[in-house]
Amino acid sequence: MPELRRLPLHRLPWWGWLAASTAVVLLDQLTKWLIQQSLALGESVPVLPFFNLVLVYNPGAAFSFLSTASGWQTGLFIGIGLAASVLIVYLLRRHAHDALFCFALALILGGALGNVVDRVHLGAVVDFLDLHAAGYHWPAFNLADSAITCGAALLIWDGLRRPRTSPSRTS
């Protein structure tokens, strides 16, 4: 049997990162569909002592920011998601050789587009992951939110691990 070789991510073409983002969108939408088929709105199913599956629709942004607005926020969040996506595709094309940076951007892109799909079709984002402790619940979230958060953390890590360049001295 021939040896399986790992794909050298630093040689992945820019559209390969788009494929990774597409996988995030598809997995996000699949999990949201499964939850919508399995739970009633507001229903909560305990999974672990600190984790429930729930079904909620969030018309706002993170932590339900602007969720009580009259509906205008949906268009705003769709526009922000699409504008961020265009910028990310540009960055992926420009820096395709930088694997960690592009992986982080691919996660963010997939998450952003997963939530844009919800906003376009439902006017709100499907959230279903509920972490809690001692009676306090973290705001419900979804796979797209997790991908965005992990991507942002990887961007910070990538920025911190890069060598600092000192400004040139002129005397």
- CA 6 to mean position of chain CA atoms: 25
Any residues with CB less than 8 A from the CB of 152 and at least 6 apart, and which? 104, 108
Q: Are 151 and 101 in contact (CB under 8 A)?
A: no
Sign of CA dihedral 106, 90, 159, 131: negative
Residues identified as active-site: 127, 145
